[in-house]
Amino acid sequence: MRASGLIDQIPNLSTFKKFGKITRVVGLMIESQGPESSIGDVCKIHVQSSKHGHQVILAEVVGFNDELVMLMPYTSIREISIGCLVEGTGSPLEVKVGPELIGKVLDSMGNPFDGSSLPRGLVTVQTEQDPPNPLSRPPINDQLEVGVKAIDGMLTVGMGQRVGIFAGSGVGKSTLLGMIARNTNADLNVIALIGERGREVLEFIERDLGKEGLKRSIVIAATGDQPALMRIKGAFTATAIAEYFRDRGLNVMLMMDSVTRVAMAQREIGLATGEPPAQKGYTPSVFAILPRLLERTGTNKHGSITAFYTVLVDGDDMNEPIADAVRGILDGHIVLDRTLANKGQYPAINVLKSVSRLMNHISDDEHVKAASRLRELYYTYSKSEDLINIGAYKRGTSKEIDEAIQYEPLITNFLKQSYKAKVTLEDTVNELIALSNGGGK
């Protein structure tokens, strides 16, 4: 039956190759007269140079200008010249996926970063796919253990929830992601490092992720020196790999550092194709691509993708355009506070500015009540901290503030955690409940 099905497809096959030729190159953009193609199709640019001989450079159709095809290359354009042949493939970017990739570091095209060959037996999937039908998404009812007390206790995450980690540079995003990747009870980690400095990729893998973390992870890296299209494809490739394993019944942890650099890459492409800059220079296509990417994660009828997306905030401004747009799409946000980091509190999670929108639905009443009580005490202390520090507050003036002063060092100690330490969800909740029931007395 399978053979007959293939035979039936023969009349639909095209025996002609479609070609065009390059007419102009401006900055990152390549204009070609033909071939016939659609937005998102991959084209092969045939380059002949005296130094490297014949080469094939892959590019993607990103727009049209009158009858010209506008292409963006996946790699460098140094060898490309006027008149180079452009061959249309008629299909979008596809990558190879399978369990054999676990433990490997890949590039945005799904190829091993160390130059080795892909294993056999992999399945081909498209990098860009539609999000699950909203009516086919099961509700999130189960907690996911991430092994970080501040998150498990105060910002409990559900299996299939999507959470943003918001922070300025150098506040500990990568370290927190490494802790989650090592400590989580998810079946598999898919980690996308988008726009990172080249030296940070190996540092993250060896220092933050570690050998044990890598054994249950697939890492996709697109460094900051690579073309904008490669940075965007790194995010879509990682999401497609996570979707493949979710559809096979696994509970996948997807971590992307950072979605801001995906947005910046899309801004580069948008400006190159002639889009008008909108909010802070970001083009309209940036705000169209974000929900298309972020909505693909979550639950479906087979499994789940729990996603953590880091968001870089310029000058620690939590209301800048990308942070504001991402916060409105996701199911919660974790704010890393530079003030806490300067005090030596790691992870520097500001629980008063952070929220998990599903915690009340997936945690039992005792856990939620304990977390609410500690949050209230912590807020009371932070509101009066300046008066306390300068000695303007006298004990006995307010019963609530006196109690908050008593609890504050214990709450801070609870929120602190060594990046090498792993604490189970059960132990975290028990410690939290004990603390709220008189641990500060």
pLDDT in tens, the chain (441 residues): 455 555 666 666 555 678 889 998 887 788 999 888 888 899 998 988 767 678 888 889 988 888 899 998 888 777 788 888 998 888 888 999 999 999 999 999 999 988 888 888 899 999 988 898 888 899 999 999 999 999 999 999 999 999 999 988 878 888 899 899 989 999 999 999 998 887 888 888 888 888 888 889 999 999 888 888 999 999 999 999 999 999 999 999 999 988 999 999 999 888 888 888 887 788 999 999 999 999 999 999 999 999 999 998 876 667 788 999 999 999 999 999 988 888 888 899 999 999 999 999 999 999 999 999 999 999 988 888 777 777 777 777 778 888 888 888 999 999 999 888 889 999 999 999 999 887 544
**Greatest C-alpha distance within the chain:** 88
Distance CA 188, CA 185 (A): 9
Q: At what angle do helices 284-294 and 321-329 cross, to 10 degrees?
A: 30
pTM strictly above 0.75:
yes
The domains found in the chain, sorted by start residue, are 17-92 (2.40.10.170), 95-362 (3.40.50.12240), 366-437 (1.20.1270.330)
**Residue type at 10 in one-letter notation:** I
The conformation of residue 115, written as its DSSP 8-state character, comes to: S
Helix (H, G, I), strand (E, B) or coil at 379: helix
The conformation of residue 287, written as its DSSP 8-state character, comes to: H
283, 276 contact by CB (below 8 A): yes
Per-residue pLDDT tens for 370-413?
999 999 999 988 888 777 777 777 777 778 888 888 888 999 99
